[in-house]
Structure 1
Amino acid sequence: MDKKIEKKRFSTKTLLIIGGAIAFVAVVIYGYTLSLKKVYSADADKLTISKVEYGDFEDVVLLNASVVPLTSVIVSSSEGGTVAEIFTENGASVVKGTPLLRISNSNAMLSYTSSQTAATEQINQLRKSRLDLEQNQRVLNQDVLDVENSLRTATRQYRLDSSLFAKKVITLQEFNKSNQDYEYYQGKLKIVRQAIKQENQSRKMQLAQIDQSMGQMNESLEMIRKNIENMTIKAPVSGKLSSYDPVIGKSYNSNEMIGKIDVLQGYKLQAGVDEYYINRVKEGQTANCEFNGKTYNLIVSKVIPEVTAGQFQVEMVFKGATPEGLRRGLSLQTKLTLSDNSKSLLLAQGQFFQSTGGSWVFVVNNGKATKKNVKIGRKNYLYYEILDGLQKGDEVITSSYDQFNQYDQVEINK
């Protein structure tokens, strides 16, 4: 008896076609999903992945500090010009007043000479005025002597004629003449003395003005002489000459630095600090460095807030004795303490910060990294302080995000 064979609903071929279509659709959907999420594929060996830790945050900045003299004095010329003579070399030890070089400036010398001549002429004119006043005083004094002498003569004659007239030896006319002469010289002496008094008052004022003017002229001459002397540049202090490289014929502007003199009375450290810390570094903060196997403590003595090439400068002095063996130009690694240690979540420093500014990171989970917003506080030479967005044990990509910072997800290939 024949058995009825039921026809299959789907043949093998049909199933293969359907399976292929489903797979194609899945691939398309997956690809579309990836396109929406903007997934980037990266090799694990090209990434740096760090784990968030909990521990002591050491609030310090690691600096490469240079040893510089405690005190340096700039050597400059008050008058510009060209180098005519050089008397010493860079690195030489000098004492205060040692000639270093001579500047030549013909225009300045001509101006100084003209000013010197004019001042000398004014001084000579003032001296002549003083002599004229003294001569007038002598003339007036002589006039007083003459009038006093005439008055004495007239007084004797008047007294004699008074006696003779009383005895009727001389006439009234002769007596009146003697009386007239006597009164005349009395009046004349009074007028001369008043004139001398007024002349003395005027003379005192004129002499005071002359003395003041002569003092000013002499000061001008002294200044001119000093300016001429200053064409020869001398060491303002004793010490070691540095940053000094004059050449015959080289020109310097007025007050331009010619060199420095390092006063050999100790050393300090000078370092550049990233502008990120500009509001946190202050005078009085402590630091430490190692030299010849010993640790030395320092204190921030000066903060120079001007930012150049992303850094500002600080100066630090040693607390206590300066280490022996220091010399200018040595570089010492220095730890600058900003505040006391505190417990915090810590994330290792990395180049990711340059891409995100610390506002978000890629957090790794099961071979995939996704974006997550974070809040970063302080940083030191090893770690960032995590204030929000991460937990202890989270794994974060801390290498550069430059290749995938526009992507939403990173697939990490083992």
Structure 2
Amino acid sequence: MIRDTSAQDRLVEVRPARHRKLLLIGGAAATVAVLAFAAPKIATMFSADSSVSASRLSFGTVTRGTFVRDIAAEGKVVAAVSPTLYAPYGGAVVLKVHAGDVVKKGQVLALVSSPELTNKLAQEKSNADAMQVEYLRAQVDAKKKRNELQKTYDNAVVDQTAAERDLKRYQSAFDKGAVPVADVDKAKSVLDKASITEKHAQSDLAMDNDSLTFDVESKKLAHDRQVLMVQDLERQVDDLNVKSPVDGQVGQLFIAERATVAKDAQLLSVIDLSALEVEMKVPESFARDLAIGMPGEISGNGKQWNGKVSAISPEVVSGEVAARLRFDGATPQQLRQSQRLSVRVLLDRRDNVLTVQRGSFVDESAGRYAYVVNDGMADRRDIRVGASSIDKVEILAGLKEGDKVVISGADAFGDAKHIAISR
């Protein structure tokens, strides 16, 4: 038989331990107290519609203070005046400047060679000279014709006077019986004929004088019209010397040297560096609040300048609207074309306003409700929001100062009204 260890076993007497009982009793009491204290929270947790980790959420606290609505963005320096010059007539172009050259107003930047236009000017000048000769000849002819008509009229007057004297003499002789009545009648006929001749000579003088005046005036108008045509062609020929309209700098050259271009082809651009503006891109949601004349701040190179909104584009491109700010005062000299600057436009300023950090909850709920966090629970509450800025939104109703609100991540709540926030 195999022997066991029963012979080695020894009964040990266990003494009662009072301190152990006390520890067990104290632990049970503490457990009951903790359960009693946490019971409401546990009940609340079980009453929640769902549970979301706090790491997936962002929170903001409702505060009271000054609310400033502004738009901050990066701007780019652009020229307020940047004209593009075009070819006034088709032909070969000779450039007199290079990109980046500083130019003065009226300086010739390019020459357009147009033999056709030059020849046309010479032809029209010749026509103008010929019309001037015709006009002068018409004046001489009219003067000569007037002299002849005046001579005819004067002779008629003399003849009429002589006929009147003859008639008087014959009448006196007839009264004395020296001449027969036939001589008197003949003298009367000669006077009547002289009177008719004088009358017609006077009429011809007046009528032909008007006709000659009209003829000379017609020649003058034709010459004046030709002179205007020559002046217009001279202007066009002068425009072949493409001149700078402003003091500035040559921007972009659109053609190569001695290129042949058509009429109205782009040649080059000139940048007026004395009138610079800052262009910024504004989100479409803020563009409706912008207005021309709003104050702004432009900063860069360690300096800050005041400005005003000078232009707002009516077109939305990629969800953004282009706006321009003009410097309030003299344009800073150290700025350069396309330089990047920081821009801030002040839309509105209010004091003693309830605000909370802006988040996606404004767009997700259309500003109708928010989730207020208290003791690990997020409860849905109806609210009413007002104006909004880049980083804050105005609270009109539904929240009070100090409330903690879920500002982003609430899309995970769905339609739940009570959400447990787990750590």
8 Å contact kept, 1:273–1:313: yes
Tell me the CA shift for residue 192 of structure 1: 2.0
Q: From 316, 330, 349, give the equivalent of 1:308.
A: 316
Tell me the CA shift for residue 124 of structure 1: 5.4
Q: 2:271 matched to which residue of 1?
A: 261
1:75-86, aligned counterparts within 5 Å? 75-77=84-86, 79=88, 84-86=93-95
Provide Cα deviations, 1:80-101, integer angstroms capped at 9, x if missing partner.
7576332212222112222223
8 Å contact kept, 1:278–1:305: no
8 Å contact kept, 1:244–1:260: no
Code of the residue aligned with 2:355 in structure 1: it is L
Q: 2:151 matched to which residue of 1?
A: 145
Q: From 62, 66, 78, give the equivalent of 2:76.
A: 66
Matched, 1:394 2:410: no
Q: CA 1:214/1:263 → structure 2, altered by over 3 Å: closer, same or farther?
A: farther
Q: TM-score, normalised by structure 2?
A: 0.68
Tell me the CA shift for residue 262 of structure 1: 0.3
Distance 1:369 1:123 in 2: 97
**Residues paired across the two proteins, number:** 371
Q: From 226, 236, 242, give the equivalent of 1:233.
A: 242
Q: CA 1:84/1:255 → structure 2, altered by over 3 Å: closer, same or farther?
A: closer
Please state whether the residue corresponding to 2:229 is helix, strand or coil.
helix
Distance 2:316 2:268 in 1: 23
Distance 1:374 1:224 in 2: 74
**Structure 2: gaps (5+ residues):** 1-46
Distance 1:404 1:207 in 2: 96
Distance 1:247 1:316 in 2: 35
Q: From 285, 290, 315, give the equivalent of 1:281.
A: 290
Q: 1:382 matched to which residue of 2?
A: 391
8 Å contact kept, 1:83–1:246: no
Please state whether the residue corresponding to 1:337 is helix, strand or coil.
strand
Tell me the CA shift for residue 236 of structure 1: 1.5
8 Å contact kept, 1:144–1:189: no
Q: CA 1:242/1:277 → structure 2, altered by over 3 Å: closer, same or farther?
A: same
Tell me the CA shift for residue 370 of structure 1: 5.5
Provide Cα deviations, 1:289-347, integer angstroms capped at 9, x if missing partner.
444544433344x2425133234444434445554533333332233222333122222
Distance 2:304 2:160 in 1: 106
8 Å contact kept, 1:363–1:394: yes
Matched, 1:347 2:356: yes
Please state whether the residue corresponding to 1:72 is helix, strand or coil.
coil
Q: 1:325 matched to which residue of 2?
A: 334
Please state whether the residue corresponding to 2:81 is helix, strand or coil.
strand
8 Å contact kept, 1:83–1:247: no
Distance 1:320 1:238 in 2: 19
Q: CA 1:161/1:267 → structure 2, altered by over 3 Å: closer, same or farther?
A: closer
Tell me the CA shift for residue 386 of structure 1: 1.8
Q: CA 1:391/1:356 → structure 2, altered by over 3 Å: closer, same or farther?
A: same
Q: CA RMSD in A?
A: 4.4
Tell me the CA shift for residue 65 of structure 1: 3.0
Q: 1:56 matched to which residue of 2?
A: 66
8 Å contact kept, 1:65–1:331: yes
Code of the residue aligned with 2:314 in structure 1: it is E
Distance 1:246 1:42 in 2: 64
**Structure 1: gaps (5+ residues):** 1-32
Distance 1:83 1:342 in 2: 66
Q: 1:193 matched to which residue of 2?
A: 202
Q: CA 1:52/1:259 → structure 2, altered by over 3 Å: closer, same or farther?
A: same
User: Which has the larger Rg?
Assistant: 2
